[in-house]
Amino acid sequence: MSDQWLPFDVPSDEQILALRRHALRELERISEEELARRLKVPLSALGGFLQGDRPEAPLLIALSVYDFGPYPDLTQLMSARFHQSYDYDTGSFESWEPAVDDFVEGETSGRIAGVVVDIGKLLAASAEDRTVRRILESLGCRFVFDSISLTPRQWLEAVRDRLLQRRA
């Protein structure tokens, strides 16, 4: 593998093993095909890496930026539909519901199911609205909760309900 053009230092064998452990842990939640799709790499390249092959540069880059955090699917929804550049006063959506609907139309059922699971995990782990708000902000959400009559927890519950309704 030619490492000269990589935008970062070539990872050590130990770092590659850590990436492999993260990927294997991710496969407890989603299929290998779904992970390859999310990474935008050929399934054969991911399969070889999981079997112990040293990754080629495109897979290495994809793995290094993939969100292996505790709420990867919820991060996708929050950063894609409720990010800081979204203007709720003049934006293309009049409320949060169409933003969720738009997300559902553009994502796989696996991703949507993952968001539902992530919301459940977040709500189970965080009792206080202040904590939920901070976690959502760390995931890229800049939704202005004062614009609606729901707390962050209530809003997440409503988002989960909408996802389940739209997915059905």
* HEC sequence for the chain: CCCCCCCCCCCCHHHHHHHHHHHHHHCCCCCHHHHHHHHCCCHHHHHHHHCCCCCCHHHHHHHHHCCCCCCHHHHHHHHHHCCCCCCCCCCCCCCHHHHHHHHHHHCCHHHHHHHHHHHHHHHHHCCCHHHHHHHHHHCCCCCCHHHCCCCHHHHHHHHHHHHHHHHC
Indicate whether 92 and 23 sit together in one domain: no
pLDDT (tens digit per residue) in 107-143? 888 889 999 999 999 999 988 999 999 999 888 888 8
- Cβ atoms 57, 3 nearer than 8 A: yes
Structural domain count of the chain: 2
Indicate whether 144 and 106 sit together in one domain: yes
More reliable by pLDDT, 32 or 84:
32
Residue at 25 is within a domain: yes
Residue found by looking up tokens 């459940």 in the block: 120
Indicate whether 78 and 161 sit together in one domain: yes
Indicate whether 94 and 118 sit together in one domain: yes
Residue 92 CB burial class (10 angstroms; 0-12, 13-18, ≥19): exposed
User: Does pLDDT of 87 surpass 80?
Assistant: no
Indicate whether 99 and 132 sit together in one domain: yes
Alpha carbons 146 and 84: distance in angstroms, whole number: 15
Indicate whether 79 and 138 sit together in one domain: yes
Amino acid in the structure at residue 154: Q
Residue at 85 is within a domain: yes
pLDDT (tens digit per residue) in 3-30? 444 445 667 788 788 888 888 888 887 8
> Smallest Cα–Cα separation from 119: which of 88, 80, 163, 86?
163
> Smallest Cα–Cα separation from 38: which of 92, 81, 80, 95?
80
Tell me which residue range forms the domain holding 33. Answer: 13-65
Indicate whether 83 and 54 sit together in one domain: no
Indicate whether 84 and 137 sit together in one domain: yes
Indicate whether 156 and 103 sit together in one domain: yes
Residue at 6 is within a domain: no
Query: Model's pTM, two decimal places?
Result: 0.65
